[in-house]
Amino acid sequence: MLKFLAIRDFVIVSSLELDFSPGFTVLTGETGAGKSILIDALSLALGERGDATMVRNGCERAEIAAEFDIAGLPHTQAWLREHELEGDADVCLLRRVLEAGGRSRGFINGRSATLQQMREAGDQLLDIHGQNTHQSLLRPDAQRALLDGYAGMTGAAEQVAALYHDWQALRRRRISLSENADAVAAERELLQFQRNELEGLAFDPEDWNAVQEDYARLAHAASLLETAAFGIETLSEADNACLAQLNALAVRLREGMVHDASLGETLQMLESAQAELQEAVYALRHYQQRMDTDPQRLHEQEQRIQTVMDTARKYRVAPEQLGEALQRIMARLVELGGDADLAELARQEKSAQQNYLAAAKKLTAARKKAAGKLGQEITEAMQALAMQGGSFAVALVPLAEPGTYGMEAIEFQVAANPGVPPRSLAKVASGGELSRISLAIQVATSQLASVPTLIFDEVDSGIGGRVAEIVGHLLKKLGKDYQVLCVTHLPQVAAAADRQWQVSKAVENGVTLSHIAELEGEQRVEEIARMLGGVKITETTRKHAAEMLTGG
């Protein structure tokens, strides 16, 4: 529901703030007072295109902000979350800025938004019914959704759409495999060879590291043994071996301790060094004994390394990535499947098609039944809205190929006068006729629409008297389920409203400005009287206006 509207420096509005309530509200005023400005401003906030001429003369920018209560609109809340445009709980704030230089910016809940996003949000919040305005009922998808809702088949239509997508996905996959059978077979053969080759390699990252270490040791075995022998000789076997010289020094230190006990600390360090060096000699001798200098093993390790490196180069990966390459090949083989998979895919496709067609036929039958009833209800409403002899029909137009939402397109058709062939609602020329037909549709389907706010403009074009009174009662009836706003010049329509706003304009400091004021009590009687009597308002006119407001 629309809760608040703020307009600043827009056309001939300097500053205007309006609080909205549920029910039926009318906007009235003298011709040329600017009653359409409110609708133009709302249209701009809902993503309609604007230009610099809408900025009030002498101002830098125009700004419109509309606040909606979306507590009862879970789909809108989900849409905002999906587009990361959510704001305060249960609130949707649309804001539009037009600059005098022509630049336009849009915001949803304070976040920058495209005009397309603003239109998508607006389509869920408000409908403006009138000539050249927001008109969701002209959209084929909205007509289909409305008929399905009227028939109680919204869920069935969604199921048909899901079945259609499943069927088409299988169909596309089967066609792709069929058209590329030779190429797929060749690719499968190559992949199988590659899989066998990599599986035969039996590459293991840990084993690979061990092989490289083993090969490095074997390749330098002679040098390593020579190093070990040199160490043993230097430490214990040469004429001037380290251990022999340390032993001699230890003997001297023990002798010196007879005269100076402080040499004992040095002797302890020397004895520790002797022990460490002796351990080193044992370790080097053990290393000599276990060193493998087998040329055959060296050759085997060299061949293994060469095979792995050649395979890695072939598959254009590092040796460590050979396992990942094998996994990718096996995954692709699963995707390609085998010849038997193509037959199974064709069977699945046929089954999916049959499931879709069965559900689509049930949907068609339900649509046909509901279309006749809905058309009759709207036709009856048209007779009361100064469209005597006119008729409304919901046509089910067969599609050349089954579609997402069934085997037919839905088209609302209308014949405004007797003997006139029905035409698509989207091609109805008269704004007044279109608005009244929309009103008839809204009344007939008042329990189905998800848009909480309806605005009607020109619904009273070309009507008066009893028909105008009927229009007022219909709008009041709609106001019980929706928030309804109507721009009107008919007192019968205005008198039926729950609230009435008067639009006026005045020259202030040489500048023409538009104002909107809520009327109550005698003010409302006076405005209804003006609408009844024109320039000269008599007491009789005022009495008539008061009776209309009280239902007398």
Mean pLDDT lowest among 64-73, 312-321, 405-414: 312-321
> How confident is the model over 124-153, as a mean pLDDT?
78
Instruction: Give the model's pLDDT for residue 133.
Output: 42
Instruction: Give the model's pLDDT for residue 227.
Output: 79
Instruction: Give the model's pLDDT for residue 5.
Output: 93
Are 514 and 495 spatial neighbours (Cβ–Cβ below 8 Å)? no
Burial class (CB in 10 A: 0-12, 13-18, 19+), 17: exposed
Query: What is the share, in percent, of the chain residues with pLDDT greater than 70?
Result: 88
pLDDT tier at 158, thresholds 50, 70, 90: very high
Residues 6+ apart with CB under 8 A from 267: 250, 253, 254, 257
Q: Is the pLDDT of residue 491 over 60?
A: yes
> How confident is the model over 171-198, as a mean pLDDT?
82
Q: Which two tokens stand for residue 335?
A: 């995707």
Instruction: Give the model's pLDDT for residue 170.
Output: 92
Q: Is the pLDDT of residue 339 over 60?
A: no
pTM above threshold 0.85? no
The DSSP line for 300-328 is HHHHHHHHHHHHHHHTTS-GGGHHHHHHH
Instruction: Give the model's pLDDT for residue 134.
Output: 41
Q: Is the pLDDT of residue 262 over 80?
A: yes
pLDDT digits (tens, 9 = 90+) for 13-30: 888 899 999 999 999 888
Domain spans of the chain, in order of start: 187-336
pLDDT digits (tens, 9 = 90+) for 427-437: 764 666 776 77
Q: Is the pLDDT of residue 465 over 90?
A: no
pLDDT digits (tens, 9 = 90+) for 84-129: 999 898 999 999 999 998 899 999 999 999 999 999 999 889 887 7
Q: What is the mean pLDDT of the chain?
A: 84
Instruction: Give the model's pLDDT for residue 298.
Output: 63
Q: What is the distance between the alpha carbons of residues 168 and 484, in angstroms, rounded to a whole number?
A: 43
Q: Give the distance from CA 347 to its chain's centroid.
A: 34
CA distances from 16 to 64, 137, 442, 516 (A): 10, 30, 30, 8
pLDDT digits (tens, 9 = 90+) for 501-514: 998 888 888 788 88
Q: H or E stretch including 502? A: strand 499-508
Which runs of consecutive H residues, i.e. helices, occur in 57-131?
A: 74-82, 115-123
Instruction: Give the model's pLDDT for residue 29.
Output: 85
Q: Which two tokens stand for residue 92?
A: 């949707």
Across 27-31, 454-458, 482-486, the highest mean pLDDT is recorded for 482-486
Q: Is the pLDDT of residue 274 over 90?
A: no
More confident residue, 136 or 467: 467
> How confident is the model over 175-191, as a mean pLDDT?
78
